[in-house]
Amino acid sequence: MNIALLLRFHIFTFPYFQSMKQQEKIQAITKILDKLYPKTPIPLKHKDAFTLLVAVLLSGQSTDVSVNKVTPALFKIGGTAEKMSKLSVKQIRDIIKPVGLSPTKSKNIKALSQILVKRFGGFVPDNFEDLESLPGVGHKTASVVMSQAFGHSAFPIDTHIHRLAKRWGLSSGKNVVQTEKDLKRLFPKERWNKLHLQMIFFGREFCPARGHDKKKCPICSLF
């Protein structure tokens, strides 16, 4: 990242940002995110739709770093729905305990694996209805799997995206459901999958929930 170049961009565009219209703001945000994050690798280690599903489920109220530390051992013995379904809840829990909420998560991983084997031939379904019917799988988890595993356009809303959308004046920020609707309305559908990851990366690097310095934030400093 060329900080000097980015700062020159800030100085040049600052007066413009003060009076810009919503669509112009969106274009500016997109330009900055594309400059900072041209590539958007998925932060959670996985090898297919099933391992991504489990990793995303584990990431609830946990960090990607902590999840990535436990999944190699978990996937070594439970890398498919069939193998995972044969593990005991205790076996799963003993491995995932560091990520937190292990009692509930281990039960859900065991249960959803059994359902995948019985109802879907061991494969992860590629539609929201079936995904959200699985234990422990909410709309956000299903959206991540749909977008990153199957390539369907979706806009998963996590705490970073919810926070940024409110700070940037793109959503009322009342709840994640409203934030998702607002962002889907404002940004082109073909950008959703990449933009979701770009906003997560930006939130972690420049726009944290605590200790946020608006003057040093490449986007917040412009509004």
Interaxial angle between packed helices 49-58 and 64-78, expressed in degrees from 0 to 180 and rounded to the nearest 10: 140
What residue type is 165 in one-letter code? A
**Does one domain contain both 83 and 107?**
yes
**Does one domain contain both 124 and 166?**
no
- pLDDT for 11 equals 40
- pLDDT for 6 equals 52
Instruction: Assess whether 158 carries a catalytic annotation.
Output: yes
36, part of any domain: yes
Half-sphere exposure of 130 (CA within 13 A, CB side): 12
5, part of any domain: no
Among the options 130, 158, 166, 181, which is catalytic? 158
- pLDDT for 215 equals 86
**Does one domain contain both 91 and 127?**
yes
- pLDDT for 24 equals 87
What are the b/e assignments for 99-127, b being 16+ CB within 10 Å?
A: beebeebbebbbebbbbbbeeeebebbee
**Does one domain contain both 137 and 62?**
yes
8, part of any domain: no
- pLDDT for 206 equals 93
Q: Identify the domain boundary among 118, 149, 180.
A: 149
What residue type is 94 in one-letter code? D
Q: Identify the domain boundary among 132, 149, 166.
A: 149
State how many domains the chain has.
2
Q: Identify the domain boundary among 112, 128, 149.
A: 149
Q: Which domain holds residue 25?
A: 14-41+154-222
Among the options 25, 105, 110, 140, which is catalytic? 140
Judging by beta carbons within 10 Å of its beta carbon (0-12, 13-18, 19+), is residue 50 exposed, middle or buried? buried
Q: What is the CATH number of the domain that holds 69?
A: 1.10.340.30
55, part of any domain: yes
* Sequence-ordered list of residues with C-beta below 8 angstroms from that of 5, at least 6 positions apart, any chain: none
What residue type is 192 in one-letter code? W
CA-only gyration radius of the chain, Å: 19
Instruction: Assess whether 182 carries a catalytic annotation.
Output: no
List, run by run, the mean pLDDT of 10-residue segments along the chain (223 residues): 48 44 89 96 96 96 94 97 98 96 97 98 97 96 96 93 93 89 95 96 92 88 80
**Does one domain contain both 95 and 133?**
yes
